[in-house]
């Protein structure tokens, strides 16, 4: 028995018919009306413009869990996107927004990128061979802001020295401010951001923006941008794509939401459309993102009261981001992660735009989406069996 999914819960903002132009050598799905989507016990479908129905790539159980977890979080606006990096297929696509806006949070909400942009900055530094993961960097302060003093190496009793490969997982802003000032030009960062898709579109069945970045010439503003404080935005689908690039070994893959429609059938394996960064850089990013979960900014969210991981022995690579750009603006909370980190089968992107009071961080929702996917494996329990306050 199937149930109709209201526009407030699923694909609410996808207004109109999807019409993707075919390109040479690549098959695209026919026009599909995603305004009227039905989620069944085992599948999700949407009507074709010319009659019949398209079968979508969504995993019904994960979609249901994602919707429920997002509802429990009750953000001003929020989204969950889950993708298989092995096939490029979208596994979950849940969004909600308070109020009457008809836009799609997943496709249209260009939220401040926050510390997720550090993935791009790290890639630029590694690709330029400007720094090695084992290099030691000394800083002082910079936890919540970047000042001019952070552009130079810290010295004296207040200096904290650590390896560069710990900086991403602990989101150490001053490390990135110092290294980009010393080693990167504005053009270096713009080029790498462009390779990741910024100021362009995500390879997808629908027209979809990645997000935007404007890199300033001023050295302090440049450092703040590189650390994710300003001048850059990201869509939830773009965040999922960012995670897919790293999880796919630095390759760009096409994301798909239509599985079958008429004579069209999505391929079983991911369609590689280019290379963003080298395999070596992607592998280094993966190891650095593992720090986020094991000892960094997401450790508390991924560890239960006994000190055990909610994902048990399944290793996760992730990046978190939190930013309140103005006193009157909502707090943007991001999570992007993939697991198992060395042989990824799922990438999860979560955006929560929270008001002054809120129920959950994006890293907690991201953790629970991963728990839902791996439930029953290696002792992982389903999050919806717990009491979610």
Rounded distance between C-alpha atoms, residue 338 and residue 110, angstroms: 22
98-104's contacts with Cβ under 8 Å and 24+ in sequence apart are 101/13, 102/12, 102/13, 102/15, 103/13, 104/11, 104/12, 104/13, 104/14
Rounded distance between C-alpha atoms, residue 139 and residue 360, angstroms: 31
Residue 320 has which token pair? 């978190």
Return per-residue pLDDT of the chain as tens, 389 residues: 333 343 333 333 333 333 333 333 456 777 776 556 688 888 888 788 788 898 999 999 999 999 999 999 999 999 999 999 999 999 999 999 987 677 789 988 899 999 999 999 999 999 999 999 999 999 999 988 999 999 999 998 889 999 999 999 999 999 999 999 999 999 999 999 999 999 999 999 888 999 999 999 999 999 999 999 999 999 999 999 999 999 999 999 999 999 999 888 998 899 999 999 999 999 999 999 999 999 999 999 999 999 999 999 999 999 999 999 888 899 999 999 999 999 999 999 999 999 887 889 999 999 999 999 999 999 999 999 865 44
Alpha carbon 370 to its chain's center: 13
Q: Which domain holds residue 63?
A: 3-385
Helices (H), the chain: 60-73, 105-108, 117-127, 167-170, 173-183, 186-195, 219-226, 236-247, 279-294, 299-302, 362-374
Structural domains in the chain (count): 1
Rounded distance between C-alpha atoms, residue 320 and residue 51, angstroms: 43
Instruction: Say which CATH number the domain at 357 has.
Output: 3.40.710.10
Alpha carbon 69 to its chain's center: 17
DSSP letter string, 300-365:
HHHB-TTS-BTTTT---EEEEEEE--STTSPEEEEEEEEESTTS--EEEEEEEEE-SS-S--HHHH
Question: Which contiguous run of DSSP H or E holds residue 17?
Answer: strand 17-18
In this prediction, residue 124 carries a pLDDT of: 98
Local structure of residue 144 (DSSP, 8 states): S
């Amino acid at each position: 028995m199937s149930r109709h999914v209201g526009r407030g819960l699923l694909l609410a903002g996808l207004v109109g018919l999807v019409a993707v132009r075919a390109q040479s050598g690549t098959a695209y799905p026919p026009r599909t009306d995603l305004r009227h989507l039905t989620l069944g016990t085992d599948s999700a479908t949407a009507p074709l413009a010319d009659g019949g129905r398209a079968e979508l790539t969504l995993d019904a159980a994960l979609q249901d869990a994602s919707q429920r977890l997002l509802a429990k979080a009750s953000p001003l606006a929020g989204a969950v996107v889950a993708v298989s990096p092995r096939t490029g297929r979208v596994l979950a696509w849940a969004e909600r927004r308070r109020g009457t806006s008809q836009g799609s949070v997943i496709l249209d909400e260009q939220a401040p990128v926050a510390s997720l942009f550090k993935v791009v900055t790290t890639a630029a530094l590694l690709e330029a061979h400007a720094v090695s993961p084992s290099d030691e960097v000394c800083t002082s302060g910079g936890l919540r802001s970047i000042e001019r003093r952070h552009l130079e190496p810290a010295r004296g009793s207040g200096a904290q020295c650590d390896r560069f490969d710990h900086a991403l997982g602990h989101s150490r802003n001053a490390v990135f401010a110092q290294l980009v000032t010393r080693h990167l030009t504005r053009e270096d960062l713009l080029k790498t951001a462009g390779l990741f898709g910024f100021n362009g579109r995500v390879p997808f069945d629908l027209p979809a923006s990645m997000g935007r970045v404007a890199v300033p010439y001023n050295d302090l503003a440049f450092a703040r941008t590189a650390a994710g404080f300003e001048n850059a935005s990201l869509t939830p689908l773009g965040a999922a794509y960012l995670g897919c690039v790293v999880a796919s070994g630095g390759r760009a893959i096409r994301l798909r939401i239509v599985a079958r429609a008429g004579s069209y059938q999505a391929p079983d394996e991911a369609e590689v459309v280019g290379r963003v960064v080298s395999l070596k850089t992607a592998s280094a990013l993966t190891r650095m993102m593992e720090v986020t979960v094991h000892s960094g900014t997401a450790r508390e969210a991924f560890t239960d009261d006994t000190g055990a991981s909610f994902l048990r022995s399944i290793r996760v690579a992730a990046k978190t981001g939190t930013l309140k750009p103005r006193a009157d603006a909502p707090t943007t909370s991001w999570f992007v992660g993939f697991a198992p980190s060395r042989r990824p089968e799922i990438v999860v992107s979560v955006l929560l735009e929270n008001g002054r009071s809120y129920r959950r961080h994006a890293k907690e929702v991201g953790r629970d989406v991963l728990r839902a996917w791996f439930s029953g494996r290696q002792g992982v329990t389903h999050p919806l069996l717990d009491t979610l306050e």
